[in-house]
Structure 1
C-alpha cells in the first residue's frame, strides 16, 4: 500500500513537473495526433503520422505496467522502462514522456545524454548518487563543472537538456525512480556504448589520441561492447 501511494505521487509529480518544462517538440495544432505505427512507412516525417481522429479510442492514451520492476540482471545493474511515443501513441506532438528506472544494489544508469529533452527525476525508493556535467566551457581555463547530489525518497533532481548525466545506487537495497522528459521522443546516447561500441568502430587512432591512453586500452574497451 505504501509503495502504491509512492508510485502515485511519483507519477503525479513527474507529470506536473514535466508539464511546466518548455517542450522542445513542436506545439500541437489540434487536440491530439495519435501516432500511427510507421515502422513500414515509405515516407518519414519529423515525428509521427497522425491517426484518423475518428478511429481514436481511449486505449491510444493508455499504458499499463509501470508498477512492475524492470530486470536489472545486466552488466550495469539497472533497467529503464520507457513510455515514449513509441510505447504510448497518444503522446505524439505533446512534448512529454516518462520512464521508470530500477537499480540493483550498486546499480548504475551510465553516463548518457538526451539530445531532445530536459529530464526531471524523482526517487521513490532507495538512495541515488546523481549528477550532470556542463558543456565545454567558452573559457579554456575553466573545467566542465560537475553537479552532484545524494537523493532519497521524495527528492527531485533536474538534468538539463543535452548534458551528460548519470544515476548510481549507493544503497544496499534496490532503488526505484521515475522521470519525466520534455519530449515525446527524447532519445538517449549512452556515452561508452556510442564511443566504444559504434558500428563500424571509431578508428583506434582517433580514440587513442582523444583519451590519451595506449592503443591496447582502446582495443580492450572496444571489445567490451
Structure 2
C-alpha cells in the first residue's frame, strides 16, 4: 500500500509539472515575423541568438499619455511581445493605462495572465468577480502608490472616480496575455450571437438585445 501511495504521489507531481509552462532552455528567443531559417517557439518564430540586439529588448514611449478622447475615456498602451520581440518565451509583459476623469477600463478578462496594477497618479475604483457559483465582487478604491492584483482569467475593471486624469501601470504574467472585453464579445461579435440566445441568457426582451447589438462597441486594449 505504501508503495502504491508513493507511486500515485509521484505521478500527481509529474502531472502538475507537465501541466505548467516549461522553463526556457536558452537565454532568450527573440520573435521574428519571417519564417525563413526561423525556429517556432511558443507561438513565434525566433531569430538566431547571435543576431539579437539591444533593440529587441527595448521599447520607447511609455511616458507618453494614451488618447482618452473616446466613449470610454481610457486608453491602454501595451508593451508585450508584439512591441518587444525579446519578450518571447519570457512570460511577462506590461501595459500603461490612462483614464480621463470618470474614464473606464470596462469589464474584461486576460485568459492567459494574472495582472498586478499600480496607480501612479489619481484615484481608481477597481474590482474583480470570482468564478461560479459564488460570483463574488471584490472591490477597492486605489490611490497614488497603491497596488492591486487581478487573478488570471477573472472578469475585472478599473474606473476613475476622480475629477483629474489617472495613470496606472500593470504587469501581466504572459508575453501575450490576451483580452476578452465582455460587452464587446457578447454584443459585438462578428457575426452576431443570436438574439434568441442572448435574450434567454440575460432574461430580457429581444428588442433590448437588438438595441445593444446595434451599438458601436470599441476596444481600447
Same fold? TM cut 0.5: yes
| 1:37 Cα deviation after fit | 1.9
The answer (yes or no) to whether the contact 1:78–1:104 under 8 Å persists in 2 is yes
Listed one character per residue, the Cα deviations across residues 90-122 of structure 1 (whole Å, up to 9, x for unaligned) are 100000000000000000000000000000000
Q: Does 1:223 align with 2:214?
A: yes
2:45 is paired with a residue of what secondary structure?
coil
| Correspondence for 2:178 among 179, 187, 205 | 187
Equivalences for 1:58-77 in 2 at 5 Å? 58-77=54-73
With normalisation by structure 1, the TM-score equals 0.83
1:63-212 alignment, distance < 5 Å: 63-137=59-133, 143-212=134-203
Deviating more after overlay: 48-57 vs 169-178: 48-57
1:49 partner SS: strand
Separation in 1, partners of 2:163, 2:128 = 23
How far off is 1:50 after superposition? Answer: 1.1
Unaligned runs of 5+ in 2: 1-19, 217-221
For 2:176 and 2:194, how far apart are their aligned partners in 1?
30
SS at match of 2:31: coil
Residue number in structure 2 paired with 1:13 = none
**CA offset digits 1:152-203 (Å, max 9, x no partner):** 0100000000000000000000000000000000000000000000000000
Cα shift readout 1:135-168 (whole Å, capped 9, x = no counterpart) = 112xxxxx31000000001000000000000000
Does 1 or 2 have the higher relative contact order (CA < 8 Å, sep 6+)? 1
Inter-partner Cα distance in structure 1 for 2:106 and 2:174: 21
Q: Gaps (5+ residues) in structure 1? A: 1-23, 138-142
In the superposition, the TM-score normalised over structure 2's length comes to 0.85
**TM superposition shift of 1:47:** 1.8
Measure the CA separation in 2 of the matches of 1:196 and 1:185.
Answer: 24
Larger radius of gyration: 2
Distance 1:221 1:39, change over 3 A: farther
CA RMSD of aligned residues (A): 1.7
Partners of 1:83 and 1:127 in 2: CA distance: 23
Q: Structure 2 vs 1, CA of residues 175 and 25 (structure 1 numbering), >3 Å: closer, same or farther? A: farther
Q: Secondary structure at the match of 2:200?
A: helix
Task: Decide whether the 8 Å contact of 1:26 with 1:93 is kept in 2.
Answer: no
**Alpha-carbon contact 1:25-1:93 (below 8 Å) kept:** no
Mapping of 1:46-57 within 5 angstroms? 46-57=42-53
